[in-house]
Amino acid sequence: MGREHIENIKALDGTVVTAIADTHAPSRDAAVALLDGAAQAPQVFDNHRDLLASGLFDALVISTPNFTHIEMMRDALKTDAHILIEKPLVTRIEDGVEMMKLAEGRKPLVWVAQEYRYMPPVAEMIRMAHGGAVGALHQVAIREHREPFYPKVGDWNRFTANTGGTLVEKCCHYFNLMDLILKEHPSRVFASGAQRVNHLDERYDGRTPDVLDSAYVIVEYPSGARAMLDLCMFAENSVDNEHIAIVGAEGKLESLLPSLTLRHGRREDWGTRKVWGEPSGSGRGVAVRRVWDTNIKYAGQHFGASFIEHQKFAHAIRNGLPAEVSLEDGLRSVATGLAAHRSIASGQAVDMRDVLPAGW
């Protein structure tokens, strides 16, 4: 993901990569190779502290293994740099609380990299939903049917202790989207999931990976609205592997990726049918279009969302604007994932007040 950030920064106007730090030499070399021929060669460090002490940067992107974020942020928050930190923000609630305390009163920006809201059809769907296109919102359903986790340096992503669990590592994106769409925070979570197929034949220092590969998660909100996640990580043979549906009292919105499809249908014929049994699922009157943002200069791995994120991050820095995804937002998305894992372990619904810090 660090290299993905470099590619996006290269595509931005008025930005340059001035320094790179990584403890893993092959990763350092691969990152530097992306900047071969740049007008300004980056300084290269084998640890983050030397980079932080260099003073070579205005903004810092932290893209390290999940469990290291707290260590990175303890040091980074002492600087005057603006910070974009990768998701998930943390793997433990107490680490997120510590980060927020360290950031109190700090003027430079801290932005959590949860860019799914910027994927073109998703962004347009959210804009329409918030504009009243389907009336009062009641349900959000998100399905991701995808390939297994890719290998990472040292195989750190094969173990829940390092990642926070699949529903934190992968799905904090979706829990953040649910909150954004419904404009409220969850009250209760129920989940069922397991490790059924993936990584069961792998061994690392005699240990078998313990990251789940499939789950259903139901998220309840104080207003009575509900959201649902359907995750399967051995279902890569799909036409569209990401599907988001928003259902309101007056209609339905859907976005599909990678086809970049947006659908919008309203309940205009509800209550007007004259014939019993007349089909209601014909799709008549549903508007279907492909959505793209022509301002995207680098599509990358997230349909241009990371480019838009970096563009907005830079704009906020230059204009003194707040982060669109705050530390609190990042921590809440982690908390929902942790609650889901706790529900799977216990077989019971989990109240968010039992997961979040007191007073939240």
Residue 278 has pLDDT above 70, yes or no: no
Contact call for residues 279 and 254 (beta carbons, < 8 A): no
pLDDT computed for residue 232 by the predictor: 98
**At which residue do the structure tokens 């049918």 appear?**
273
CATH (residue range 2-116+311-327): 3.40.50.720
Instruction: State CA 354 to chain mean position distance.
Output: 23
pLDDT per position as a tens digit, 190-231:
999 999 999 999 999 999 999 999 999 999 999 999 999 999
Reference 186, options 196, 194, 175; nearest CA is 175
Contact call for residues 3 and 31 (beta carbons, < 8 A): yes
pLDDT computed for residue 39 by the predictor: 77
Domain ranges of the chain: 2-116+311-327, 118-296+333-346
Average pLDDT, whole number, for the chain?
94
Residue 273 has pLDDT above 60, yes or no: no
Residue 274 and residue 222: Cα distance in Å, rounded? 38
Residue 228 and residue 189: Cα distance in Å, rounded? 10
DSSP tag of 354: G
Domains 2-116+311-327 and 118-296+333-346 share a fold: no
Contact call for residues 167 and 195 (beta carbons, < 8 A): no
pLDDT computed for residue 37 by the predictor: 79
Q: 263-269 long-range CB contacts below 8 Å, 24 or more apart? A: 263/287, 263/288, 264/128, 264/133, 264/134, 266/133, 266/134
- Residue 114's CB is within 10 A of a number of other CB atoms, namely 25
Match domain 118-296+333-346 to its CATH number in 3.90.105.20, 3.20.20.150, 3.30.360.10, 3.50.50.60. 3.30.360.10
If pLDDT is split at 50, 70 and 90, which confidence band does 277 have?
low
pLDDT per position as a tens digit, 299-341:
988 999 999 999 999 999 999 999 999 999 999 999 999 999 9
